[in-house]
Amino acid sequence: MPFDTRNLRPKRIALFSGNYNYVMDGPVRALNHLVGFLEAQGVEVLVFAPTAKEAAFRHNGTLVSVPSVALPGSRSEYRLGLGLPRRIKRQLAAFEPDLIHLAAPDILGWRAQAWAKKNHVPTVASFHTRFDTYGRYYHMAWLEKYVTALMRKFYHRCEQVYVPSDCMKTILSEQKMAKDIRIWSRGVDAGQFNPARRDMAWRRVMGIADSDVVISFVGRLVLEKGLDVFADTLDELKRRGVSFKALIVGDGPEREHFAQKLPDAVFTGYLQGSELARAYASSDIFFNASITETFGNVTLEAMASAVPAVCADATGSRSLVTPGENGFLVEPGNIPAFADKLERLIHDPTLRKSMAKAGYAMSRDRTWDAVLNRLLDNYSEAVTKYPRRVWRSDRRQDLSAAE
């Protein structure tokens, strides 16, 4: 019976990422969800990534540590993979992947891409972060066009490139960033993030009165998350005499600087699991001023917790926030405009309630299984360009079973 290429699915996938388990962030959550899902579908996954002495959480799947060094300066918690030494190449060759998924255009990603081309293995990539915009926050804006050009070269060598939203697809298409750009959206764990997690007793322990309207931030405390805009906006609210309480969830190299700018804020440090879900649900307004994300994981989690969102009108939130319905979008960096929207929500509990209800309803349609099944279908299409490789994979499994 002839092999039907329409039903091709990769049996073994190698995933390369600059971070998989040593710092928790939105891309890492998505990648761990992906690996857990693939293994549940019977797909073998081998993850190649830098590691640290202590992991931030228990990861999914089998992780192979690659040589790496800490990034210099304020981002030393992140590590840069140095490529593929011989022992890693031998391990990769022995695994015989049917598909390689690249999560970042870093040195490790480039080396994996070169190996794949030499060994006739299809590569796909997921676009998680606007690395080209980072220079704006570190006095190196002149680098942006060069980084964009390098990224374009990297992604053009992939069979498919996955972005989390239509607006991100539009931007990258206009930049001619890749040949075949597709949507890999993000899901939310409704069992974890939901309004039932709201805990007034916990708020009181944190020094938050029942009558306080809480404005929350959730994420890494790094400059590119819009920390200065967040702090300056809250200063503007104070100048106007608006009463509120700031709740900061997360940690990072800018924590001390951020705490100096927000001396009255409650800082919880890094939270995860049920503690993170409780913090979301126990706030009243979610404020995300960042423009660097390709998808607003934190914004979606806030909405699932029935918290209205005020966000920068950028790729990370544009696909989630419907202005006036479940939150507000504001021109990036516009401090008075951000303050106007926050002030309106602080003074209008009825509006907060209606927006919270709308955001919660929208989040119910964002399940991980539905999102990841569509990605697996894309994988299947990518490997049809290399059908003999997957046919051999099936034959090996059949012969092994027969023995």
16 and 138 co-located in one domain: yes
Half-sphere exposure of 32 (CA within 13 A, CB side): 17
Q: Which residue has the higher pLDDT, 1 or 8?
A: 8
Q: What confidence tens digit (pLDDT) does each residue in 347-361 have?
A: 999 999 999 999 999
Q: Which residue has the higher pLDDT, 189 or 401?
A: 189
228 and 315 co-located in one domain: yes
Number of domains in the chain: 2
Question: Which string of DSSP letters, residue by residue, matches 115-180?
Answer: HHHHTT--EEEE--B-GGGGGGGTT-GGGHHHHHHHHHHHHHTSSEEEESSHHHHHHHHHTT--SS
Predicted confidence band at 24 (pLDDT cuts at 50, 70, 90)?
Answer: confident
Rounded-to-integer distance, Cα 186 and Cα 325, Å: 21
133 and 219 co-located in one domain: no
372 and 250 co-located in one domain: no
Half-sphere exposure of 308 (CA within 13 A, CB side): 27
Predicted confidence band at 391 (pLDDT cuts at 50, 70, 90)?
Answer: very low
pLDDT computed for residue 235 by the predictor: 98
pLDDT computed for residue 368 by the predictor: 87
What pTM was estimated for this model as a whole?
0.72
168 and 26 co-located in one domain: yes
pLDDT computed for residue 334 by the predictor: 97
pLDDT computed for residue 78 by the predictor: 85
305 and 340 co-located in one domain: yes
253 and 306 co-located in one domain: yes
CATH of the domain at 330: 3.40.50.2000
Which range of 143-147, 166-170, 245-249 scores highest in mean pLDDT? It is: 245-249
Rounded-to-integer distance, Cα 179 and Cα 45, Å: 26
Average pLDDT over residues 257-265: 96
156 and 237 co-located in one domain: no
204 and 142 co-located in one domain: no
201 and 141 co-located in one domain: no
What is the per-residue burial (b if ≥16 Cβ within 10 Å, else e) of 371-388?
A: bbeebbebbbbbbeebee
Domain with 72, as residue range(s), is 5-187+367-402
pLDDT computed for residue 130 by the predictor: 62
Calculate the average pLDDT of the chain.
90
Average pLDDT over residues 258-276: 95
Could you identify the residue written with the tokens 């918290």?
307
Q: What confidence tens digit (pLDDT) does each residue in 35-86 have?
A: 999 999 999 999 999 999 999 899 999 999 999 999 886 567 889 999 999 9
167 and 221 co-located in one domain: no
129 and 210 co-located in one domain: no
